[in-house]
Amino acid sequence: MLRGFDRLSLTKHKNAKRYKRRMNLIFKDIKQTIVSLANTNISKERKTVLQTLSEYIKKKKATGQPINLNFICTHNSRRSHFAQIWAQTLTTYFKIPNVFCYSGGTETTRIYPTVLETFRNIGFQQQQLSEGKNPVFALRFSATSAPIIAFSKKYDDVFNPQANFCAIMTCSQADKNCPLVSGSEKRIALPYEDPKITDGTPQELEAYKECARQIGAELYYALSRVI
């Protein structure tokens, strides 16, 4: 007959094994890409900024509060989606609970098709949920996790948190034109070069791949320091 302590230990062991099995269901190609991100060179200056994000998440995690991250750029069509989707994927990879990732812009356009193509090439499953000028997509990185919903919206859209979130500015233009992000409790400037400059050129797909990799690598660095 198991004593109380033994039953508790057995329960924890079973829960750990169950979580590990869920982790193993992250799609193989995506896991391989994630592993490769660890070897990316990141400048000292960028690491300092990324550490600010790590500390924010650590503090929220320590108090058991939901961790809401809203990645913001001008059009919510490229960089902010790269960041949102990678951040949600990586928090699962690093077993950081209660993290909810969003994205928004200072204006609404649509998620750019090459962003979706880039994630498909990495191994994300995709489903288009609506038609029109600003279609909605669902992306899956795991067989068990809820899909990530991706579409262009303003940062203060009702789909996004209205308070108690960290605003991460992924482009300098949005950072400059949006001096106050209503409801945010923390603001971090983490700008990236816009791959839009290559649209319609032979370099387009490679530029988007590189942008996705840079954002993924930097978020890998930040989130790996939370655990």
Domains defined along the chain, listed by start: 4-224 (3.40.50.2300)
Compute the distance between CA of residue 104 and CA of residue 178 in angstroms, rounded to an integer. Answer: 12
Structure tokens at 162: 């209205």
Compute the distance between CA of residue 62 and CA of residue 96 in angstroms, rounded to an integer. Answer: 11
Looking at residue 128, what is its pLDDT? 98
Looking at residue 218, what is its pLDDT? 98
Q: How many residues does the chain have?
A: 227
Looking at residue 192, what is its pLDDT? 96
Looking at residue 179, what is its pLDDT? 65
pTM of the model: 0.89
Tokens 């994205």 -> residue? 103
How does pLDDT run along the chain (227 residues), one tens digit per residue? 445 545 444 444 444 454 444 445 899 999 999 999 999 999 999 999 999 999 999 999 999 999 999 999 999 999 999 999 999 999 999 999 999 999 999 999 999 999 999 999 999 999 999 999 999 999 999 999 999 999 999 999 999 999 999 999 999 887 677 767 999 999 999 999 999 999 999 999 999 999 999 999 999 999 999 97
Looking at residue 1, what is its pLDDT? 47
Looking at residue 2, what is its pLDDT? 41
Looking at residue 10, what is its pLDDT? 42
Judge contact between 193 and 171, C-beta under 8 A: no
Compute the distance between CA of residue 121 and CA of residue 219 in angstroms, rounded to an integer. Answer: 19
Residues 6+ apart with CB under 8 A from 102: 68, 69, 70, 71, 84, 159, 160, 161, 165
Tokens 């930040």 -> residue? 222
